Chain A
Amino acid sequence: MEAAILRVRGLAAGYGPVHALSSVSLEVPDGAVTAVLGGNGAGKSTLLRAISGTLRFQGGAITGGTIEFAGERLDGRNAARVVAAGVVQVPEGRQVFARMSVADNLRAGALGARHGRRGEQEARERVFGLFPVLAERVHQRAGLLSGGEQQMLAMGRALMARPRLLLLDEPSLGLAPMMAARIADTIREINDQGTAVLLVEQNAALALNLATRAVVLETGTVALSGTAAELAASDEVRRRYLGVGDEDAAADAEAGIRAEHDHSDGHPTLRRWVA
């Protein structure tokens, strides 16, 4: 296993009187996909916001612990410094700049990185390679894109900063299974190109299939952690995140999301987690 690029130790965070995270520790290996699973309100988004330095925009703050990226402390840094360090977050719900064109959204993504004009051009080519549809829609207003296209734009925009670590908050949220599978393929491709990924998902089957390691958050603490295969095989994860007593879903998670393309009978491989 490769060395950890991100180390979170004893992290606590909250929104005023609301404690959202307490003593969360996890490591993200370089060059791999790490998944964070958990139900609604478990603290997944809070964890990503703490790393990206944007808690204060939601009225939150880190109250304890440390976040270390490539040997550099990130906790207490402002969002711009975190981006400059090479960590970029794609927010939950995509949050593209709806009134700006696709091209300007991508430009906005490059604002925080200091890679110069050449770097920006290279990043744009990489993004268009991953998401050809963005190249076709480059002059269109982002608000007019479909949900799936907006997710691609949100990811492309983040890649414009050429991050070493990409934080993804529920990229499959609200997408049809086919589109979710395509996003999953792209995440794998991005990772293959050398970008480490910390993937927050409620779609456990999708996430465990992509990740090498995973943690499960429950009410703000790490309840389980291990390799993706271990978690996919664990009773608790099968029961709570891969569908109650549903052997199929768990089996699908292990068999791989790609197999889903062969299922033309509409069998629901991509299952939403239900409380």
Chain B
Amino acid sequence: MTTFLELLITGISLGSVYALIALGFVIIFKSTEVVNFAHASLLLAGGYFAVVSRDTLGFWPALLVGIAGAALLGMLLEFLIIRRYRGRDHSVLAIVTIGIDIVLITELARRIGPEIFSYRDPWGNTLVQLGPVSIPQTRVAAFVVAGALITVFLLAFRYTSWGVAMRAAAEDRGTAALMGVRLGWISASAWAVAGALAAVAALFLSVFPTTGLDRETGLIALKAFPAAIIGGLDSTTGALAGGLIVGVTQSLATGYQSELSFLGNGIGDLAPYLVMVVVLLIRPAGLFGTRELSRV
């Protein structure tokens, strides 16, 4: 039972980090109808900006540098590249983002090399005791920070003018333009927010029990892809649900790997994809989505 609780809490914490990534993915899709395959490299870039400024600036300022850097990079990609393809077929745009991803990942991998960068975060490898279970402090921090950011985002989405503009553009770009909504800014701000959230996710994917940020960290972001699809690509609620489902599934499957050994090794990493396939078979638009990926 204690193991189960531990795995569940770990899963929820992990899931909230996946939700951060999935949320960025969904924001970009909702407001610009682009399936952003460059999201993993955006995350890695955010992490890289943070860890290289860690020594000179200290942890918190470096984290801010990472967040601002990834937000700026996202915006830049939108301004310089994505914007030129506006109005083109969605598959063209998806391929463009794959191209961006390859270029960014290659460059970042070259810079990072074989090294593993530590954030040297304030939480270290301390454990906290929650009743019968002991959890790494980093997991608690991840859950609290991700939860807070998601709450702030959802409130902004619901109540601010920016949120109204985002939702209007998501429903009908042409009509939103008739209201005087500046679609270029909507799109750029979506990329910026997605980049910022990804940079925070990069932090929590690199701290204890992980050894640090390396060139493979971006690959973990790929797990948020099934999260976004499970929830529904155009649903913010779906991103949260999908993130948690993937986190918990992965954590439990990894924890009970020995019992599940008949399914083969590495079931923990595979489980989220299995869940995704099952969900898509039952609900092609995802749990909360309204649009099927095939129509993208």
A residues with CB within 8 A of B: 52-54, 56-59, 78-80, 82-84, 88-89, 91, 95, 97-100, 104, 107-109, 111-113, 157, 161
Closest 9 CB pairs of A and B: A112-B180, A83-B180, A57-B174, A79-B177, A108-B168, A95-B175, A80-B180, A97-B171, A107-B164
Select one of A58, A111, A113 contacting B168, CB under 8 A: A111
A195 to B32, CA, bound (A): 34
The answer to whether B180 and A97 touch across the interface, beta carbons within 8 angstroms, is no
A89 to B180, CA, bound (A): 10
Shortest CB–CB separation between residue A96 and chain B, in angstroms? Answer: 8
Contacts of B161 in A (CB 8 A): 107, 111
Q: Does B182 contact A (CB under 8 A)?
A: yes
Select one of B171, B174, B178, B182 contacting A100, CB under 8 A: B171
A80 to B176, CA, bound (A): 10
Given A97-B167, A104-B164, A109 and B179 contact (CB-CB distance below 8 Å): yes
Contacts of A54 in B (CB 8 A): 174, 177-178
Contacts of B174 in A (CB 8 A): 54, 57-58, 91, 95
A98 to B171, CA, bound (A): 8
Q: Given A97-B168, A107-B161, 9 other A-B contacts at CB below 8 A? A: A58-B174, A97-B175, A100-B171, A108-B164, A108-B176, A111-B164, A111-B181, A112-B181, A157-B179
B residues with CB within 8 A of A: 87, 161, 164-165, 167-168, 171-182
A86 to B191, CA, bound (A): 30
- A sample of 26 cross-chain residue pairs with beta-carbon separation below 8 angstroms, ordered by A number, consists of A54-B178, A57-B174, A58-B174, A79-B177, A79-B178, A80-B177, A80-B181, A88-B179, A89-B178, A91-B174, A91-B178, A95-B172, A97-B167, A97-B171, A98-B171, A100-B164, A100-B171, A104-B164, A107-B161, A108-B164, A108-B167, A108-B168, A108-B181, A111-B164, A111-B179, A111-B181
A196 to B85, CA, bound (A): 38
Q: Which residue of B lies closest to A97 (CB)?
A: B171
Select one of B164, B173, B177, B180 contacting A161, CB under 8 A: B180
Q: Which residue of B lies closest to A106 (CB)?
A: B164
The answer to whether A97 and B172 touch across the interface, beta carbons within 8 angstroms, is yes
Contacts of A56 in B (CB 8 A): 87
A178 to B74, CA, bound (A): 52
A80 to B173, CA, bound (A): 12
Q: Which residue of A lies closest to B290 (CB)?
A: A99
Shortest CB–CB separation between residue A73 and chain B, in angstroms? Answer: 18
Select one of B171, B172, B173, B180 contacting A111, CB under 8 A: B180
Contacts of A82 in B (CB 8 A): 180
A95 to B174, CA, bound (A): 10
The answer to whether B177 and A108 touch across the interface, beta carbons within 8 angstroms, is no
Shortest CB–CB separation between residue A33 and chain B, in angstroms? Answer: 20
Contacts of A79 in B (CB 8 A): 177-178, 180
Contacts of B179 in A (CB 8 A): 83, 88, 108-109, 111-112, 157, 161
Contacts of B164 in A (CB 8 A): 100, 104, 107-108, 111
Shortest CB–CB separation between residue A224 and chain B, in angstroms? Answer: 29
Contacts of B180 in A (CB 8 A): 79-80, 82-84, 88, 111-113, 161
Contacts of A97 in B (CB 8 A): 167-168, 171-172, 175
Shortest CB–CB separation between residue B252 and chain A, in angstroms? Answer: 34
Contacts of A53 in B (CB 8 A): 177
Shortest CB–CB separation between residue B156 and chain A, in angstroms? Answer: 14
Q: Which residue of A lies closest to B173 (CB)?
A: A57
Contacts of A83 in B (CB 8 A): 178-180
A84 to B174, CA, bound (A): 16
Contacts of B182 in A (CB 8 A): 80
Select one of A57, A58, A108 contacting B165, CB under 8 A: A108
A98 to B182, CA, bound (A): 20
The answer to whether B168 and A57 touch across the interface, beta carbons within 8 angstroms, is no
The answer to whether B175 and A100 touch across the interface, beta carbons within 8 angstroms, is no
The answer to whether B177 and A99 touch across the interface, beta carbons within 8 angstroms, is no
For A54, A58, A84, A97, the residue with the greatest tally of chain B CB atoms inside 10 Å of its CB is A97
Contacts of A113 in B (CB 8 A): 180
Contacts of B87 in A (CB 8 A): 56, 59
Shortest CB–CB separation between residue A255 and chain B, in angstroms? Answer: 35
A126 to B204, CA, bound (A): 50
The answer to whether A100 and B177 touch across the interface, beta carbons within 8 angstroms, is no
Shortest CB–CB separation between residue B106 and chain A, in angstroms? Answer: 35
Contacts of B172 in A (CB 8 A): 95, 97
Shortest CB–CB separation between residue A155 and chain B, in angstroms? Answer: 13
Shortest CB–CB separation between residue A107 and chain B, in angstroms? Answer: 5
A80 to B69, CA, bound (A): 29
A61 to B174, CA, bound (A): 14
Contacts of A104 in B (CB 8 A): 164, 167
For B171, B172, B173, the residue with the greatest tally of chain A CB atoms inside 10 Å of its CB is B171
A9 to B87, CA, bound (A): 29
Contacts of A91 in B (CB 8 A): 174-175, 178
The answer to whether A111 and B177 touch across the interface, beta carbons within 8 angstroms, is no
Shortest CB–CB separation between residue B140 and chain A, in angstroms? Answer: 36
A80 to B174, CA, bound (A): 11
